Structure 1
Amino acid sequence: MRRTVSVGTTLAAAALVVAGPVSPAAAAAGDEGGHGWVPAPQTPYEMPAGVRCDFPIRVEAVVDDVRMLVLEEYPDGSPRREMYEGDLLTKVTNTATGVSTLVDAGGSAMVEHFTDGSMTWYVTGPVLFGFGENAGTLPRGVWQIDGQFKVEFTPVPGSPTYYKTLTMVHGTTHNVCTDLD
C-alpha cells in the first residue's frame, strides 16, 4: 500500500512534493516548534444526495495511519506549511443501496496555508478529494486523483466552502461515484 492522506468534509489530501527545501534534520526533529510527527486521523462523514454523488454517501477510513508534521508556523502559532503521509484506505458507500468500494488514498502532501484562508496542496497521489457542483475544475463527485499535481483551495466569499483548482503534472482522475451507481 502507498503512503496516504485523504480529504474529508472540510479538507483532506496528502502528498510528498515539497515546494521548498526541508533539511533532513528538520524533517526528523519536526518544525522549529518541536512538534514532530503526530497522528492526523480522518473523520468519517456523510453527504446527502446531490452534494457529491447523485445518491447519499458515507466516507470512512478502514486503514488510517496518516500523520502530520508542521514544517513552519506563522507568528501566532498557526500552521504555514505542513506535511501529511501514511497509509489510508477509504471505504465509500452509497447509503441508499449499501454498495461500497475501497479506495486507496495513499499519497503524500505538502500543504501551504495562506493568511487569506486559501491553501495549496502539492500532492503525489493517490488521494481522495470531493468536488461540489460548479465548485472546482472537476465536475461534482468524489475523485480519486493519482499522480503528481497541486490543488489550490480558494475560499468562496460568504461560504465555508472552497473553489478547488486542480493542476495536473501527470496522472489520472476517477470519479468514485461511478463505482457506486
Structure 2
Amino acid sequence: MRSTIVPVALGTACMAVMTLGTGHAAATPATTAPRGSGWEPAPSAPWDVAAGERCAFAIHGEPIVDEVVRRELPPPAEGVTRSAYKGDLVVRVTNKETGAHYDADVSGSAVVDAHASGAQFWRVVGPVLVGVGDGNLARGMYVVDGVYTIGISPTGSKTVTGPVVATDSVCDRIA
C-alpha cells in the first residue's frame, strides 16, 4: 500500500510508507518479483517530519528492510487506480533530537484505491505505519495493526476504522 503516502507505510502491502506522504525510493533493494507475475518492486524512500507535525519532536524514517512489491489491479471506476501491496517492511523511526529509534515492522498487506481528487481508500490486513496530523486518531505516528480500512481525504485527513484495530504510538516509544 504505497504511493504518495503520508507517513503510512506498509510492508507486506502498502502503507508503504508506503509511508504516506513520503513516497517511495529504494533504501535497500526490494525483492525481485517472479517474472510475469505482475508484481513489481515498490521501494519506500526515507522521510523527515518536522517537530509538532506528528510527534512533539522532529522524526526521520528510513526502511531497513524493504521487500514490498506492488501489482496494479483493474480500476473499480473511472478516475480511480487500484493497487495491491505486500512484502516485508521494517522502518526505523528516529527521534532527531535524541537519536532514540524504534524499528517498526509494518509488513502488512493492502489494496489501495487512489482517486483523481487525491483521496485514497486502503483495505489493510496487518501492520502499517500511519502518520496522523488530522483524523480520528490523535496527532502522532502509529503502527496500526489488525483488519481495517484507512480513508484519506484530498487534504490528508485520515480515518482508521475496522472490526479489529490496534494502535501503538511510535512517538511514545522514542520520546
Give the TM-score normalised by the residue count of structure 2: 0.79
Measure, in 1, the Cα distance between the counterparts of 2:158 and 2:60. Answer: 21
Q: 1:20 — aligned with what?
A: none
Measure, in 2, the Cα distance between the counterparts of 1:11 and 1:150. Answer: 20
Q: 1:70 — aligned with what?
A: 72
Q: Whose Rg is larger?
A: 1
What SS is found at the alignment partner of 1:155? coil
Measure, in 2, the Cα distance between the counterparts of 1:74 and 1:123. Answer: 17
User: Which runs of structure 2 are paired with 1:20-35 in the superposition (5 Å)?
Assistant: none
Measure, in 2, the Cα distance between the counterparts of 1:9 and 1:117. Answer: 12
Q: 1:61 — aligned with what?
A: 63
CA offsets 1:57-79 (integer angstroms, 9 cap, x no match): 00010000001000024899x86
RMSD, aligned α-carbons: 2.3
Offset of residue 11 of structure 1: 5.9
Measure, in 2, the Cα distance between the counterparts of 1:71 and 1:9. Answer: 20
Offset of residue 148 of structure 1: 0.3
Q: 1:16 — aligned with what?
A: none
The 10-residue stretch of structure 1 (56-65 or 114-123) with the greater mean CA deviation from structure 2: 114-123
Unaligned runs of 5+ in 1: 13-27, 31-35, 157-161
1:139 aligns with 2:138: yes
CA 1:170–1:11 in 2, change beyond 3 Å: closer, same or farther?
farther
Percent of paired sites with the same residue: 36
Measure, in 2, the Cα distance between the counterparts of 1:41 and 1:128. Answer: 15
Segments ≥4 residues shifted beyond 6 Å: none
Measure, in 2, the Cα distance between the counterparts of 1:74 and 1:147. Answer: 24
CA offsets 1:112-133 (integer angstroms, 9 cap, x no match): 122332110000011101001x
User: Which runs of structure 2 are paired with 1:82-121 in the superposition (5 Å)?
Assistant: 82-121=83-122
Measure, in 2, the Cα distance between the counterparts of 1:125 and 1:179. Answer: 20
Unaligned runs of 5+ in 2: 1-10, 24-34
Q: 1:10 — aligned with what?
A: 21
Conserved 8 A contact 1:9-1:45 = no
Give the TM-score normalised by the residue count of structure 1: 0.76
Q: Which has the higher contact order (CA 8 A, sep 6+)?
A: 1
Conserved 8 A contact 2:70-2:85 = yes
Conserved 8 A contact 1:71-1:81 = yes
Conserved 8 A contact 1:4-1:66 = yes
CA offsets 1:114-163 (integer angstroms, 9 cap, x no match): 2332110000011101001xx1110111110010000011112xxxxx11
Q: 1:19 — aligned with what?
A: none
Offset of residue 9 of structure 1: 4.8
Q: 2:6 — aligned with what?
A: none
Offset of residue 169 of structure 1: 1.7
Which one-letter code corresponds to 2:124 in the other structure? V
Q: 1:174 — aligned with what?
A: 168
CA 1:62–1:9 in 2, change beyond 3 Å: closer, same or farther?
same
CA 1:11–1:122 in 2, change beyond 3 Å: closer, same or farther?
farther
